[in-house]
Amino acid sequence: MFSREKEILTKDEWNLVKEQLPEKFRLLFGVLHGSGLRISELLRLRVRDVTLSGKNKGKIKVRKAKVGQSRDAMMDKILADRVHKYVQKEKLQPNTIIFTN
């Protein structure tokens, strides 16, 4: 039996990778990392599921999560502002999935 160490990027290596990504994918990875969403949840995330302004800015309504029930997640307000700018720039409608190809 052998063990394999996980290969993890250092913070500097990750920053180098991020610099090469288009803004959409930097934002996608930021939301994934900053909210704790599963990849499948992130890829189903619609504009209407994210509170982009007001008192609850950054709140995410995760519909049909892993066990089939809805749950809430959070992202920080700075990340919510970036998502809001992206939604406005792309002119996404409330029912639109945020991260499509």
DSSP single-letter state for residue 32? H
Identity of the residue numbered 61: K
Q: Is residue 97 assigned to a domain?
A: no
Question: Which of 30, 58, 63, 34 minimizes the C-alpha distance to 46?
Answer: 63
Q: pTM for the whole thing?
A: 0.81
pLDDT digits (tens, 9 = 90+) for 45-83: 999 999 999 999 999 999 876 777 888 999 999 999 999
Q: Is residue 7 assigned to a domain?
A: no
Q: Using DSSP, state whether 50 is helix, strand or coil.
A: strand
Q: Using DSSP, state whether 54 is helix, strand or coil.
A: coil
Query: By residue range, what is the domain housing residue 77?
Result: 12-90
Q: Is residue 30 assigned to a domain?
A: yes
pLDDT digits (tens, 9 = 90+) for 10-55: 889 888 988 999 989 999 999 998 898 999 899 999 999 999 999 9
Predicted confidence (pLDDT) at residue 95 exceeds the cutoff of 80: yes
Strands (E), the chain: 59-62, 71-74
Spacing of C-alpha 32 from chain mean position: 4
Q: What is the pLDDT of residue 2?
A: 65
Q: Is residue 2 assigned to a domain?
A: no
Q: Using DSSP, state whether 101 is helix, strand or coil.
A: coil
Q: What is the pLDDT of residue 57?
A: 94
Q: What is the pLDDT of residue 70?
A: 87
Q: Considering its fold, how many domains does the chain have in total?
A: 1
Q: Is residue 46 assigned to a domain?
A: yes
Q: Is residue 3 assigned to a domain?
A: no
